[in-house]
Amino acid sequence: MIDVRGLRKSFGKNLVLDGVDLQVEQGDVVAVIGPSGSGKSTLLRCLNLLEEPDGGTITINDVTVNPPRYTAKEAHALRQQTAMVFQSYNLFRNKTALQNVTEALVVGKKMPRKEADETGRRLLTRVGLSEDTIQQYPITLSGGQQQRVSIARALAVRPKAILLDEPTSALDPELVNEVLAVIRTLAQEHTTMVIVTHEMAFAAEVADRVVFMDGGSVVEAGPPSQVLAAPRHERTRRFLRELGSGSERPRRPEPPEDDGGERALEIPLG
């Protein structure tokens, strides 16, 4: 489903991805772990060209691009293969939960409003939100509810794979499980997912493969029983020890500034 070869990305003189290879089979869940600054989130953002890679090859489903040279048509085709779930939700603040889900269907997919609303309601119910919640605005929702709206929005465009960038890192501890439960159900339904996460127990439970990154490279990859329980590389072992002690736990991101208007989605609607 996903085949990445030699992916490179720099920000100025800072090399963030140094020849990353990643393969994901259809229906598999791949958890990407590693210390802060290892390139995990940049890897996800490069997969649907939210960040423009400097080199390598990205193939998703039957679409291939060869950065840095690709056409707008090729970029559009690649983006249609995936949907992103961000750690900070990225919802339109002046649209209801339902409208956040249906926006991409009406604007991007040209779906009739009635059909889009029916699809949105079905998906929001699927992620455990009530009819009352569906009509509320993000500011009135908990972080866990907002993230479930974000997951429903990703499902709405029927992507070949869902990319989740630390989907629980902005949540209070008591809200984490409700989002993990939704992702767990998607995994049981064989939804292809790549998840950047610091939830090691969750990765061990749902992931088919775990990829450990450090310094912009893949250090180790394999089944959870190997990478998490019996890692072969000392760097992986050290990371897991540090994570267990709490020294590697990411800080919650600062909330975005409220400009009082509509915040643009980072996922293309077309």
Q: Tell me the domain boundaries of the chain.
A: 23-57+71-246
| pLDDT tens-place string over residues 68-84 | 999 999 999 999 999 99
Q: Is the pLDDT of residue 103 over 70?
A: yes
Query: Would you place residue 250 in the very low, low, confident or very high pLDDT band (cuts 50, 70, 90)?
Result: very low
The CATH number assigned to the domain with range 23-57+71-246 reads 3.40.50.300
Three-class DSSP category at 214: strand
Among candidates 6, 8, 60, 37, which has minimal Cα distance to 194? 60
Q: What is the pLDDT of residue 225?
A: 95
Three-class DSSP category at 265: coil
Q: What is the mean pLDDT of residues 247-270?
A: 39
On average, the pLDDT of the chain sits at: 89
| pLDDT tens-place string over residues 24-62 | 999 999 999 999 999 999 999 999 999 999 999 999 999
Q: How far is CA 210 from the centre of its chain?
A: 15
Which pair of structure tokens corresponds to residue 26?
Answer: 């259809």
41 φ/ψ angles, rounded to the nearest 5 degrees: -65, -35
Burial profile 79-118: b = 16 or more Cβ within 10 angstroms, e = fewer? bbbbbbbbbbbbbbbebbbbbbbbbbbbeebebeeeebbe
**pTM of whole model > 0.85?**
yes
